[in-house]
Amino acid sequence: VGTMVQPVSQKYAVLYQVSYDLLDARIAKTYRQIGLLLLVGIVLGIFLAIIIGQKATRPIKSLTAGAAEIAEGHFDHRVHIHSQDELGLLSNAFNRMAADLKKSTKALVYKERVAKELEIAKTIQESLIPKEIPEIEGLDIAASVNPAAEIGGDCYDFIKLDEDKTLMYLGDVTGHGVPAGLLVSVANAIIYAYSHLKEIMQIMVKTNAILQAKSQANMFITLAMLSWNGKTKKMDYVSAGHEKILHYNSKKKAITELESGGIALGMVPDCSKLLKKHPIDLNKGDTIIIYSDGIPEAWGKKKEQYGMGRLRRILMDTAAHADLPAEKIREKIITDLEAFMGSTEQADDITLMVVKKV
């Protein structure tokens, strides 16, 4: 204990006695109060942290769960976070993403389905093209078709009518792609069905009547049909609005454009008076080519078309070689055309048939 005296007047003074025990008690009490406040503060801080943490993580958990749903393909799932902060914006963006993914997935599935169907259609159409050129007595033949799209609008075929007669034709439907491919398939089937008539004029007239009745008004096919008699060595042809047949005469060493005319099949109900059968005077070594308009109308890298002049020139250069087979002539024409086109995109189907009398 400590003692202090503080005079107040001449008679009086104040005596102070200080107890260190009391001071220690005060300090100890203060420590306890501080410790209690600290403990309360820690507990309160933990409690608030838990509440705030749950509030902050709930939207994140919702987004995480939503992402899992989307990953499983549930594109109709939506996340509902009603807040004006960044999480609310993220929720809206997430929902838009889910909607866009649903549209994109549907589009992708549709695209894959269409691609598969086009692949099947292409396979079917390719099966309609002769796998091999038939051996026809007195003739050397080569032919090819190169469609501009998955499904082409050009066709050619060879049909044995009897022991002596063979029918051959090359057709070109307006446009290309699926609609043209469908019409080509129908035309092939009709021609084959009527081939028993053996007369090319009758076959053309019958084919036209069905095409005109069953196809759209803006869909038609140009066709050049030839009939070869191996016994008499005679050839006839009928043109239904098709490109002019080029005839190389080996004796005159000249090229003639055979009469075309006629009208495309499928345009009028009856074309019997609009078509005409013509003979082709073929001598040994003569060559004729039948082609679709994709050849003369092909565009080159200099923004010009291949044209009939180039086609006549390359036919003259090749057919003049008496020992050159039909396949080599076809190859040289197609090679010249491809060199002319260069990197220019093919705009139309390219079909070529070379017939050489041997």
Contacts of range 250-259, beta carbons closer than 8 Å, 24 or more positions apart = 250/283, 250/284, 250/285, 250/286, 250/287, 250/319, 250/322, 251/283, 251/285, 253/320, 255/312, 255/315, 255/316, 258/288
Q: Which residues of 32-57 are buried (b: 16+ CB within 10 A; e: fewer)?
A: eeeeeeeeeeeeeeeeeeeeeeeeee
Do 300 and 306 meet the contact criterion of CB atoms below 8 Å apart?
yes
Q: Find the Cα–Cα–Cα–Cα dihedral 326, 328, 329, 330, rounded to 10°.
A: 90
Q: What are the average pLDDT values for consecutive 10-residue runs of the chain, which has 358 residues? A: 73 75 80 89 86 71 77 77 72 80 81 75 77 92 91 92 94 85 91 95 97 89 97 96 97 94 95 96 96 96 92 94 94 97 93 97
Question: What values do phi and psi take at 270, rounded to 5?
Answer: -130, 120
How remote is the C-alpha of 214 from its chain's centroid? 27
> Is this structure's pTM higher than 0.75?
no
For tokens 């080599």, the residue is: 328
Identify the three-state secondary structure at position 141. strand
